[in-house]
Structure 1
Amino acid sequence: MLRIRGPAHSTRPDTVAAEEPLEIRLAGKALAVTMRTPGDDFDLVHGFLTTEAVIGSADDVAGLRYCTSVDADGRNTYNVVDVDLAPGVEPPDTALDRNFYTSSSCGVCGKASIDAIRTKTRHDVAGDAVRLPLPTLLALPDRLRAAQQVFDKTGGLHAAGLFTADGELVALREDVGRHNAVDKVVGDAVREGRLPLAGHVLMVSGRASFELTQKAAMAGIPVLAAVSAPSSLAVELAADVGITLVGFLRGDGCNVYTRTERVVLPEQSDQR
């Protein structure tokens, strides 16, 4: 790599974030391809299947395994995972909704999934009575950043962290795709039998998109916080399902777009 900083330049090695395709199959039939950072693949698969309403718990998966997928040198790339659903679990009819191809930048989107989230989510997110003190909320970005080990080396990964209402980090995953990072966090909870994730906060390092809001709802997470802006669809969906959506969470401030009563403000004389 040629490194240029002002008038100075040098040649040196650099560490970059890994990105490879992962194909998810159901009983040998291709379901989805996502561009991801290798690692925690089984968490990713469980999270993806849960947030797409294919499964509701780990009991819905009878087994999963890496399939043989080899590179030019004949080595297994570990880029294909085949899932066997438990008896009685119906596979999705992808022809009715959309092609399950996801890139590392945007993930899956479309009108079909907007409609589906309002009927698919099985958790009472709106009824979650969690309360989050403002100082705890404001501390989450620093706690998330402090736990990002791969980002320190590459500067090129998104992060998703699951926190308790007391600010305790439960799980963190990094990935080139923000949606993959969330799926890995959700999948970890699915495999441990911890769904729904009532009383928790999902903190993400980028913007709050419709898709991330959808994934939070499918996992039963009542609070979604992001360091950057939310989209209009994210705000709309959060309001519909009862998620507290927080954007621009940085420094000593944030914007709370929906279900603002869950954020407990300190007593103060100047409220502007």
Structure 2
Amino acid sequence: MAGESRSRRITTVRLRGDRLYAGRRGRRPAVEEPLDLRLRGMHLETLLRTPGHDIELAHGHLFAAGTITGREDVGEARYCDGAVTVAETGLAQNTYNVLDVAVRDLAAGFVVPSPGLGLGLGPDGSEVAGRSASSDRPAPTEDPERAITGEQSIADVLIRRPDPLGATPSQDPAVLFAGARALLASGTDDQARTRGLLLDARGEALASREDVHPENLVDKLVGWALLAGQLPLSGAALVLTGPVGFGVVRRAFLAGAPVVAATGPATSLALDAAEAFGITLVTALAKGADGDAHAEVLTHPERLDLTQAR
């Protein structure tokens, strides 16, 4: 099965005081391979991802795109023969990089992604025009001279889920710190891969996944929740390594997760979106040189339990 990468020899450089040191070591880079995502045999999109949990990735991705609303919308998801053929036999080989999803209800239609409008299949199998299913690509505007803004992106999401997330059980910050420590401790020398987990309101880990792309990581976690009947993720916290962009906050909101916490920083649009969506966004989760844990709560701090704070 796909998902292995070969180890490479790399040069390491370190500066200690005014002395420079160089060395060599083995490094196994993060695996990134394309996944040809098809709906009823028709190419929908090519996702670049870390192989593994592809079924969950497809469910989460289609949920984020609005193509499905629940697990009952998917009749079947199966791997197909890839584009690789065995030289000796001439037969197609399964590379596990082609996934076909049978969607039960195509009332809204879906579209093969393109820079603008395209043709897809309607519920009766006829071709229809509509939006690309690429989840973070903005819809084309009627006025080509009008620029797409962050406010428009946020407004587009609020069309699907009009109400910001309301009050949820208080989240203990110590739970978020523990989750970040667990993720960082589980890492290898492969720093290109984003790791994340879902925590319930009690701080228990529901699922953990990883991918080279943060949005794919969240799609895998949301896909797991969808298949497990756990949506919406009321009271849950999404904790991940690395930075947070709009795509991560968008997916968390659509899945109903009220807390997003990360070891890295957040983009300006992610911060604006978290504020509008009612999401508590926590960044810079880290353990300092003095051993103390610290973080920055950017939006909706009222959701964290700070009653014992001095």
TM-score range, shorter chain: 0.7 to 0.9
Aligned twin of 1:65: 78
Rounded Cα–Cα distance in structure 2 between residues aligned with 1:127 and 1:215: 17
Rounded Cα–Cα distance in structure 1 between residues aligned with 2:233 and 2:110: 24
Match of 1:80 among 98, 102, 110: 98
Matched residue type, 1:196: P
Match of 1:212 among 229, 235, 248: 248
Aligned twin of 2:136: 108
Match of 1:126 among 144, 165, 187: 165
Q: Is the 8 A contact 1:128 1:198 kept in 2?
A: no
Question: Alpha-carbon deviations, 1:143-194, whole Å to 9, x = none?
Answer: 2223x3xx42633311121011222111010111111111111101111111
Match of 1:223 among 237, 244, 259: 259
Rounded Cα–Cα distance in structure 2 between residues aligned with 1:19 and 1:88: 30
Gaps of 5+ in 1: 101-106
Q: Is the 8 A contact 1:202 1:224 kept in 2?
A: yes
User: Number of residue pairs matched?
Assistant: 258
Rounded Cα–Cα distance in structure 1 between residues aligned with 2:66 and 2:164: 16
Question: Alpha-carbon deviations, 1:249-270, whole Å to 9, x = none?
Answer: 212221112111001114344x
Matches within 5 A, 1:5-154: 5=12, 9-10=23-24, 14-71=27-84, 73=86, 74-87=92-105, 89-93=107-111, 95=117, 96-98=130-132, 100=134, 108-110=136-138, 111=148, 113-121=153-161, 126-146=165-185, 148=186, 151-152=187-188, 154=190
- Higher RCO, 1 vs 2 (CA within 8 Å, ≥6 residues apart): 1
Rounded Cα–Cα distance in structure 2 between residues aligned with 1:174 and 1:191: 18
2:201 paired with 1:160? no
Rounded Cα–Cα distance in structure 2 between residues aligned with 1:109 and 1:168: 34
**Aligned-residue identity in percent:** 34
More helix as a share of residues: 1
Q: Is the 8 A contact 2:173 2:305 kept in 1?
A: yes
Secondary structure of residue in 2 paired with 1:132: coil
Aligned twin of 1:255: 296
2:274 paired with 1:238? yes
Rounded Cα–Cα distance in structure 2 between residues aligned with 1:170 and 1:264: 21
Rounded Cα–Cα distance in structure 1 between residues aligned with 2:270 and 2:29: 30
Matched residue type, 2:68: I
Matched residue type, 1:230: A
Rounded Cα–Cα distance in structure 1 between residues aligned with 2:63 and 2:161: 10
Gaps of 5+ in 2: 1-7, 14-20, 87-91, 118-129, 139-147, 288-292
Rounded Cα–Cα distance in structure 2 between residues aligned with 1:97 and 1:265: 43
Matched residue type, 1:15: R
Q: Residue 57 and residue 128 in structure 1: after superposition, are their counterparts in 2 closer, same or farther (change >3 A)? A: farther
TM-score with structure 2 setting the length: 0.76
Q: Is the 8 A contact 1:134 1:266 kept in 2?
A: no
Rounded Cα–Cα distance in structure 1 between residues aligned with 2:63 and 2:69: 6
Aligned twin of 1:103: none
Matched residue type, 1:85: V
CA apart distance, 1:90: 2.9
Q: Is the 8 A contact 1:97 1:113 kept in 2?
A: no
TM-score with structure 1 setting the length: 0.86
How big is the alpha-carbon RMSD for the aligned residues of Structure 1 and Structure 2?
Answer: 2.3
Q: Which is greater in Rg?
A: 2
CA apart distance, 1:56: 1.1
